[in-house]
Amino acid sequence: RKSAVRSLEIRAPESSGGRSKWAKTMRKRDRNPSSPEPSVSSPRKRFWRHLRVYLPGTTIYLPTIGTPIRGDVSVLNVTPSQRPKDLPLLPPPSEKHACRITLVLDLEETLVHVTQLEKYAGGADFSFSLRVKHVDEVFYVKKRPGVDAFLCAVSQWYEVVVFSGSGFLYVEEIVNRLDPNGFIAHRLYKEDCTLVGDYCVKDLSLLGRDLARVIIIDNSEACYAYQPENAIPIPTWISCESDCELARRLPILERSQFLPDVRNSRVYLQ
């Protein structure tokens, strides 16, 4: 199912000498193996190591979309117990989104964190009550740092879809408050997931969109287990105020909007 690696090639900025300073340093180190490596604490080394950069010549390629499933892969061998009934999951794209790639965003632990613990009520960005089994339950919602700017930016580049593994009423309460400006074009819920064992898999092939033009960002690899080649992973977020994972993905998404096929793609980060 995986397609060949595709890339959007953009030349790295050149110095006055015609070659990037970083590339020169690497070639010099290659000629002199005894040259000491940068210390582990070096910000430069941490940056490149984290992003797994490849340097053919002076062009920097960054693997950005597509990830192997490293956890429980049994989900791939289990027959789904339930599939969505109304297909495709999305209506035809609007005129505004007709030529855009579809960006699917997970909700909980990706864009927000939700808790019912009252001790976190003071730090919540908003709250709502929902009747659950004849009891009114209160939910406190904290927005991931940078989520407002993130949604504003990606809505200019993509057809944005929130796809949650939670129920309709619950998701509606959150998204209505999270997105008052209407940056999110569509919302999908638990009933739109494919149930495989205990997992709610988000089968992108059911969206009614070309898989070459769909990207998913989710903190759970089980959710994109059917199409890992379309995924941009993101760490789970609970409460860290210094988190900047959404902002880190904006340069990737800004460049990926021009890819003819996003699957297992690489783009350049300046």
With a cut of 60, say whether residue 163 has pLDDT above it.
yes
Determine contact, residues 259/159, Cβ cutoff 8 Å. Answer: no
With a cut of 70, say whether residue 11 has pLDDT above it.
no
Please check whether residues 12 and 113 belong to one and the same domain. no
Structural domain includes residue 207: yes
Please check whether residues 191 and 251 belong to one and the same domain. yes
Structural domain includes residue 126: yes
What per-residue confidence (pLDDT) applies to 239? Answer: 92
Domain region containing 164: 74-258
Please check whether residues 141 and 215 belong to one and the same domain. yes
Give every strand in the sheet of 186-188, ordered side by side.
186-188, 159-163, 102-105, 214-218, 231-233
What per-residue confidence (pLDDT) applies to 266? Answer: 80
Diameter of the chain by CA atoms?
73
What per-residue confidence (pLDDT) applies to 21? Answer: 43
Could you read off the pLDDT of 227-253 as tens digits, one per residue? 999 999 999 999 999 999 999 999 999
| Number of domains the chain contains | 2
Could you read off the pLDDT of 192-231 as tens digits, one per residue? 999 998 899 999 999 999 999 999 999 999 999 999 999 9
Please check whether residues 162 and 225 belong to one and the same domain. yes
Choosing from 63, 82, 103, the residue where a domain stops is: 63
Q: What is the C-alpha to C-alpha distance for residues 176 and 182, in angstroms, rounded to an integer?
A: 9
With a cut of 60, say whether residue 4 has pLDDT above it.
no
Tell how far CA 225 is from the center of its chain: 14
Choosing from 36, 63, 90, the residue where a domain stops is: 63
Please check whether residues 78 and 211 belong to one and the same domain. yes
Structural domain includes residue 224: yes
With a cut of 90, say whether residue 175 has pLDDT above it.
yes
Please check whether residues 56 and 115 belong to one and the same domain. no
Structural domain includes residue 266: no
> Which residue type does 1 have?
R
pTM of this prediction? 0.77
What per-residue confidence (pLDDT) applies to 113? Answer: 97
Please check whether residues 118 and 17 belong to one and the same domain. no
Structural domain includes residue 253: yes
With a cut of 80, say whether residue 130 has pLDDT above it.
yes
Structural domain includes residue 68: no
Choosing from 15, 32, 63, the residue where a domain stops is: 63
Please check whether residues 110 and 179 belong to one and the same domain. yes
CATH number of the CATH domain containing 152: 3.40.50.1000
With a cut of 50, say whether residue 75 has pLDDT above it.
yes
What per-residue confidence (pLDDT) applies to 186? Answer: 99
What per-residue confidence (pLDDT) applies to 270? Answer: 56
With a cut of 80, say whether residue 188 has pLDDT above it.
yes
Strand partners, 217: 105, 232
Structural domain includes residue 269: no
Could you read off the pLDDT of 93-114 as tens digits, one per residue? 999 999 999 999 999 999 999 9
Please check whether residues 139 and 36 belong to one and the same domain. no
Please check whether residues 98 and 123 belong to one and the same domain. yes
> Rounded to whole angstroms, what are the CA distances from 132 to 47, 64, 162?
46, 40, 23
Please check whether residues 208 and 79 belong to one and the same domain. yes
What per-residue confidence (pLDDT) applies to 215? Answer: 98
Share above pLDDT 70 across residues of the chain, in percent, rounded to a whole number: 75
Please check whether residues 25 and 99 belong to one and the same domain. no
Cβ-count burial 35-63 (b if 16+ within 10 Å, e if not): eeeeeeeeeeeeebeeeebeeeebebbbb
Structural domain includes residue 124: yes
